[in-house]
Amino acid sequence: MKVLANDGIATSGVVALEKAGFEVILNNVPQEELINFINKNNVDVLLVRSATKVREDLIDACPSLKVIGRGGVGMDNIDVEYARNKGLKVINTPAASSHSVAELVFAHLFGMVRFLHISNQNMPLEGDSKFKELKKSFAKGIELKGKTLGVLGFGRIGQATAKIALGIGMKVIAFDPFIDSAHLELDFFDGQSISFTIDTISKEEVLKQADFITLHVPAQENYVISTKEFEMMNDGVGIVNAARGGVIDEVALIKAIESGKVSNAALDVFENEPKPEIQLLMNNNISLTPHIGAATKEAQNRIGEELASQIIEILK
């Protein structure tokens, strides 16, 4: 049986699949050529990340497909229900990347509160000639310890993010329409652990109370954060989106930054990928990364191994 990992897969996943007798194809086939490639090579399993789209036309045109796999959590680039109604198995890896995304959220948060995303740009240009001026301009940072982190979406990634927040001394509040309470276990290097229970509250209360807000929600029809929600927030709030593009109204975000309602924002995902709006890219109050939440070696190994395990279980 043949597996096409069109957006790549970690070596650990390739090894597991080949050991089980699968042929793994690592070609990166352009979207417009994908149907022909799958049919020509009688591909049984198509693995994608966020770049490749698996829509109804491809599903209908490729009768050899038995499994579609998404290396990651969100599956908005796959017509999941349509595929399942056609008899295909659709799988993902919801747990594998949680900690990597959570660490990226805090990489942004730590950088934002100490202006690292701007000082790292300016120091190479002016560090030798305007050192004192730069020192003065970046000397008004704040600490995260003691601040309140609001988590919108309290599934695996939201909870992983909350654990880091608790570990550095932040208060955590959370909203999730499907979760009333979550038990969090913080594990330490020496085998010790501490338990926390977080009871979720309303979205409105999270927006009103939080000093920083992080989103961990799936793609949906309407914005989760737009003008109305920004108006509820504290002045000077910080916000991070490492979830999905389109859950924050980017036009409203720019206005909220310009008004001072939002002091800093961090975006790993965008409404228009792979061409984010220039107003976002050029704004000094926004910390930017190119959709790399799950892009750590550890997470990719876990994703590859988890996909391989599921495929072997389904087809062998």
Task: Tell me whether residue 244 is one of the annotated catalytic residues.
Answer: yes
- Coil, strand or helix: which one is 47? strand
**DSSP-assigned letter for residue 235:** T
Per DSSP, helices labelled H in the chain are: 11-19, 34-41, 56-61, 80-85, 98-113, 116-126, 131-137, 156-167, 203-209, 227-232, 250-259, 278-281, 297-315
Are the CB atoms for 156 and 94 separated by under 8 Å? yes
Collapsing DSSP to helix, strand or coil, 310 comes out as helix
The β-bridge partners of 26 are: none
One of 117, 244, 302, 306 is an active-site residue; which one? Answer: 244
For tokens 């593009």, what's the residue?
245
Please provide the size of the chain in residues.
316
First to last CA, the chain: 10
As beta bridge partners, residue 185 has 195
Residue 264 sits at φ, ψ, to 5 deg, of -150, 150
Report the alpha-carbon distance of residue 273 to residue 54 in Å, rounded.
17
273 catalytically annotated? yes
| SS3 call for 24 | strand
Active-site residue among 99, 117, 156, 291?
Answer: 291
Single-letter amino acid, residue 186: L
Decide if 291 is catalytic: yes
Burial of 46 (0-12, 13-18, 19+ CB in 10 A): buried
Cα–Cα distance list, 71 to 1, 10, 19, 307 (Å): 19, 10, 20, 7
Q: Which of 271, 273, 277, 298 is catalytic?
A: 273
Whole-number Å distance between alpha carbons of 181 and 185: 13
Residues designated as active site: 244, 273, 291
